[in-house]
Amino acid sequence: MTTALPIRLRDRALRSAWLHPFNDADAINDLLGSLNPRWSLTEVRAELVAREPQTADTVRLVLRPNRLWTGFVAGQHVTITVEIDGVRHQRVYSLSSDPADRRLLSITVKRQPQGRVSNWLHDHLHCGDVVTLSPAQGDFVLPQNHGPVLLLSAGSGITPMRALLYALRARGAGDVVLLHVCRDADDQIFASELAALASGWPGLRFVAWHTADRGRPALAELLATVPDHIERDTWLCGPAAFMADVEAHWQASGATERLRLERFGLAPTVIGSGDAAEVRCSRSERLFAAESGEALLPAAERAGLKPAYGCRIGVCRTCLCKKRSGTVQNLVTGERSSEPNEWIRLCVSSAQSEIELDL
Amino acid sequence: MSKTSSKTMTRPQLSRSDIASLQADLDAVRDEVMQSLGASDVAHIRRMIRRARGSAIAGRAMIGLGFDPLTFLVGVAALAHAKIVENMEVGHNVMHGQYDWTNDPALNSQTYEWDNVCDAGMWRHFHNYEHHTYTNILGKDRDFGYTILRMSDEQKWHPFFLFQPIWNGILAAAFQWGVGGHDIGAERLLNGQMSWKEFKQRSKPFHRKIRRQLMKDYVLFPLLTFWNAPRVLAANFLANLIRNLWSYAIIFCGHFPEGTAVFSEAETQDETRGDWYFRQICGSANIEGGRAFHILSGHLSHQIEHHLFPDMPAHRYAEIAPKVQAICAKYGIAYNTASFWRQYGTVLGKVFRHALPSRRANPALSQA
Ligand code: FES
């Protein structure tokens, strides 16, 4: 992909040693931000313009991004950065708006029990507030050509489906089934939009399975509502166990190439003491095991990796490394943290779950 | 308030159990603050960043656009103030990782670059690692005397040190250059432990940073208001000089005043965190002053607290100082604090005294 000329010029100017200190991006962004919180030279900043409650614990947030937003393709997600009590947190949310709208975008947020960011977005993000977004990412998107479509979701897994539905309707797709599992009619996210979409679009069939009435469906029972499901190009999003079942079924039928998945970040499962956790290193593409209670630095070295280090006692930060995901414990303070994309010191951190490091 | 004035610091002998409970006491002080970090700490450092920027803009504008001596003087003062706040309260503290917990890339220890000729990467190595890990261990902490000054009886004398009052004066005026070149380890070139090639390789980041700094202060800004170029050159030079003298004076009061102890490599072999805490307290000295003074010193006036908790946001040191002092009193450890003039006076005294050969007070600490 080629980047637009103004962006390339901007990046060159920001890197140039000759222009320093006039090209200090942080200073410029602070200045722009103080004039208008949405303005920035380098970041997509978006203002909350509307909140639309969907269910008791789910809200759709409508955001107006600045001009650095380059739009998205239906099915993609964004990373949203918010600052809560001085700490920046990042979370990934599917884009649930109509991708044809370049001016507004929306994400749909369900409260997670103990979820720092989801609850903060529900309770503390007010209209007029500004958040930072990454460019849209992900390949849970529509191919050029496709056959009949099945969108299969459960719970808040429906959020990317809304964008996909808008894109499919714009293409004039003639045979689309949305099969969705949720508790009951009150728990149906996007209920009114879906009804409106279905009424004006004969090609869309909407099948809802309400567990409050019919119980948790056995997979065969659920899929029986769409008998030709295995022939359809399928997009799947929902809780991990549900997705695993569906994936296994498609695998058994030899139809995996017609199945596309969007996985949510999961709360990592904490290992017991004495167990070992798997550590994935995204840069070196290596994998090693670290015992619980053991610092990650020696564990990485045992596996033949050579992370930078100095004091090895947590003082100097030479071993600082970005942890992409997973739970770690600080061996000095005993503090645990599961925050994605945070900086940890390898010499005083131990893995408490499967983790991914930028190493 | 306990003040030490004996010529050589006597370090109390603490039992293993004392060291263990000293560790627990200090850990508790640390945890209480670290668990309370939040929006107000971030607001503080962002305020300091804005203060340094605003002051730099005002200073450079007065220097570049003014014609009279008054704007010259005020401009120099504003620019020196900007550089001091940026180097001491913002740069030094951010590069210690005091704000890494915020996850704000602008406050990240690994990517921050400050406004002086010392490359941030080199600084992090010799300061965060060597100096903060091996504080006051002779032969390991190259900050002790900066390899050109003899600041204790335990350092071996050499005729070179006869002139150290002069070296001291030069270092003070050119402090950023001394700090900038420190990590190269030129002394190893002189005694043949480093090849020219290695020396040149190690100097590269320093050269890059020098270019960038000289370009800014002595090319870009003078050219920008070219009709005033000589005035701008002179003012920028003066502002850098003032910052050098100030940071030199503050930093020399951190580990060299009378009463700060030195350690041998052997005795620090199997240190626990408690031993390490103990060494940090014995090797550091505080300067008394008000809030404005503390900020201008980057809170290095709370050197003891800084050395105990180098990654705690520095503006919190004043609040924990009474607790640390009480803990010191509990274990009979001297808490070295005094006015700037007293601390700096004893530093100067040492510069002169140790220029001359002296018997090593503690042969166990003798340094090769
Ligand atoms: S190696 Fe020094 S903090 Fe980890």
CATH of the domain at A63: 2.40.30.10
ipTM: 0.90
Give domain status of residue A288, yes or no: yes
pLDDT of residue B365: 58
Give domain status of residue B112, yes or no: yes
Q: A206 and A170 in one domain? A: yes
Residue of chain A whose alpha carbon sits nearest to that of B44? A86
Q: A287 and A248 in one domain? A: no
Q: A166 and A127 in one domain? A: no
Which atom of ligand 1 approaches the CA of B128 most closely?
2
Judged against a pLDDT cut of 60, whether residue A358 lies above it is answered with yes
- Tell me the pLDDT band of A243, cut-offs 50, 70 and 90: very high
Q: Can you give chain B as a three-state secondary structure string?
A: CCCCCCCCCCCCCCCHHHHHHHHHHHHHHHHHHHHCCCHHHHHHHHHHHHHHHHHHHHHHHHHHHCCCHHHHHHHHHHHHHHHHHHHHHHHHHHHCCCCHHHCCHHHCCCCCCCCCCCCHHHHHHHHHHHHHHCCCECCCCCCCHHHCCCCCCCCCCCHHHHHHHHHHHHHHHCHHHHHHHHCCCHHHHHCCCCCHHHHHHHHHHHHHHHHHHHHHHHHHHHHHCHHHHHHHHHHHHHHHHHHHHHHHHHHHHHHCCCCCCCECCHHHCCCCHHHHHHHHHHHCCEECCCHHHHHHCCCHHHHHHHHHCCCCCHHHHHHHHHHHHHHHHHHCCCCCEECHHHHHHHHHHHHHHCCCCCCCCCHHHCCC
Give domain status of residue B366, yes or no: no
* Residue after which a domain boundary falls, among A230, A263, A296: A263
Give domain status of residue A269, yes or no: no
Domain with B353, as residue range(s), is: 3-357
A226 φ/ψ angles, rounded to the nearest 5 degrees:
-130, 80
Interface test with B, best of A80, A316, A337, A338 (most B CBs within 10 A): A316
Per 3-state DSSP, chain A is made up of helix, strand and coil in percentages (nearest 5) of 25, 30, 40
Kind and range of the H or E element at A167? helix A159-171
Q: A297 alpha carbon to ligand 1 midpoint, in Å?
A: 9
A316 Cβ inside 6 Å of ligand 1? yes
Q: What is the mean pLDDT of chain B?
A: 93
- Tell me the pLDDT band of A268, cut-offs 50, 70 and 90: low
- Tell me the pLDDT band of B6, cut-offs 50, 70 and 90: very low
Q: B297 alpha carbon to ligand 1 midpoint, in Å?
A: 26
Task: Give pTM, 2 decimals.
Answer: 0.92
Give domain status of residue B367, yes or no: no
pLDDT of residue B2: 38
More confident residue, A113 or A2: A113
The CATH code of the domain that includes A227 is 3.40.50.80
Q: B119 alpha carbon to ligand 1 midpoint, in Å?
A: 20
Q: A128 and A56 in one domain? A: yes
* Residue range B54-63, pLDDT digits in tens: 999 999 999 9
Q: A113 and A26 in one domain? A: no
Give domain status of residue B18, yes or no: yes
Q: A157 and A254 in one domain? A: yes
pLDDT of residue B368: 36
What is the arithmetic mean of pLDDT over B200-220?
95
Q: How many domains does chain A have?
A: 4
* Residue range A289-314, pLDDT digits in tens: 999 889 999 999 999 999 999 999 99
Q: A169 and A124 in one domain? A: no
Distance from CA of B237 to the nearest CA of A (A): 17
Give domain status of residue B24, yes or no: yes
- Ligand 1 pocket: which of A306, A343, A345 to mutate (most atoms <8 Å of CB)? A345
CA distance B255 to B151: 10
Q: What letter represents residue B326's amino acid?
A: A
pLDDT of residue A72: 97
Asked if B100 and A320 come within 8 Å (Cβ–Cβ), the reply is yes
pLDDT of residue A265: 63
pLDDT of residue A5: 85
Asked if A88 and B104 come within 8 Å (Cβ–Cβ), the reply is yes
Is residue B42 less than 8 Å (CB to CB) from chain A?
yes
Q: A125 and A58 in one domain? A: yes
The CATH code of the domain that includes A291 is 3.10.20.30
What is the arithmetic mean of pLDDT over A25-45?
95
Domain with A190, as residue range(s), is: 149-263
* Residue after which a domain boundary falls, among A133, A158, A175: A133
Lowest mean pLDDT, pick from A6-15, A42-51, B166-175:
A6-15
Closest CB to B310: pick one of A310, A315, A343. Answer: A315
- Tell me the pLDDT band of B11, cut-offs 50, 70 and 90: confident
Q: How many domains does chain B have?
A: 1
Q: A236 and A326 in one domain? A: no
Judged against a pLDDT cut of 60, whether residue A217 lies above it is answered with yes
Q: A348 alpha carbon to ligand 1 midpoint, in Å?
A: 8
Q: A122 and A59 in one domain? A: yes
Judged against a pLDDT cut of 50, whether residue B5 lies above it is answered with no
